[in-house]
Amino acid sequence: MAARHHFDRALYWARTANDPDLTAYVLTTAALHSTLYGRPSDALALTDAALGAARHAHVRVVRFTKLVEARAHARAGDASAVTAALIAAERLLDKPCLHGAPE
């Protein structure tokens, strides 16, 4: 319960700062937390929200989100979705990071 409160606060401040990198990262980290606690459907909803927020995010943040998405699909037992998420993450490895590292 305390972790959820901290994620909610972090998400609030990331959105308030209008920071797409941080917003996507917080949502992805919450998704990883949900995956580790056996709630892959919650995790997939969070990764979907993170990818929506990540439209203007750094490619490294999107790669992390796709990797967490693959893990959530694996926990849900969806092998084809795991493959698709891993392929997307691998393709993102080939994209140049023009902006350097996220702040």
pLDDT in the model for residue 42:
96
Q: What is the dihedral of CA 58, 92, 63, 82, to 10 degrees?
A: 150
Is 100 within the bounds of a domain? no
The parent domain of residue 50 ranges over 2-93
Report the Cα–Cα distance between both ends of the chain, in Å, rounded.
Answer: 29
Is the residue at 99 inside a domain? no
Say whether pLDDT at 95 is over 80.
no
Q: Is the dihedral of CA 22, 102, 92, 86 positive or negative?
A: negative
Residue with tokens 């997939």: 44
Q: For the segment 18-66, what is each residue's pLDDT rounded down to a tens digit?
A: 999 999 999 999 999 999 999 999 999 999 999 998 777 788 899 999 9
Number of domains in the chain: 1
| pTM, 2 dp | 0.86
pLDDT at 82: 96
Q: Mean pLDDT across the chain, nearest whole number?
A: 89
C-beta atoms surrounding 34 within 10 Å: 23
Confidence at residue 44, expressed as pLDDT on a 0 to 100 scale: 96
